[in-house]
Amino acid sequence: MARKIWTAAEFEKLTPAEQDAEFQASIVTDLSEVPPEFLDRIRSRLLSRTSPPNPSSSA
């Protein structure tokens, strides 16, 4: 099920408690709920930033 996309104006009309509830509901803690394409993109970016430099490319 797709989640609602809130505009700033809509979100500002919510009470602080409603805003907090929407924020908390938007946090994904189960990776099986993350689209595979997005997860692959994030993994690739992480690996490119954490992999050691290629010694053959340094001169």
Interval 30-53: pLDDT, tens: 999 999 999 999 999 999 998 777
The mean pLDDT of the chain is 88
Are the beta carbons of 22 and 14 closer than 8 angstroms?
A: yes
Q: What is the pTM of this model?
A: 0.56
Backbone angles phi, psi at 24, to 5 degrees: -60, -40
Percent of the chain with pLDDT over 70: 88
Q: How far apart are CA 19 and CA 9, in angstroms?
A: 12
Provide mean pLDDT across the span 1-5. Answer: 77
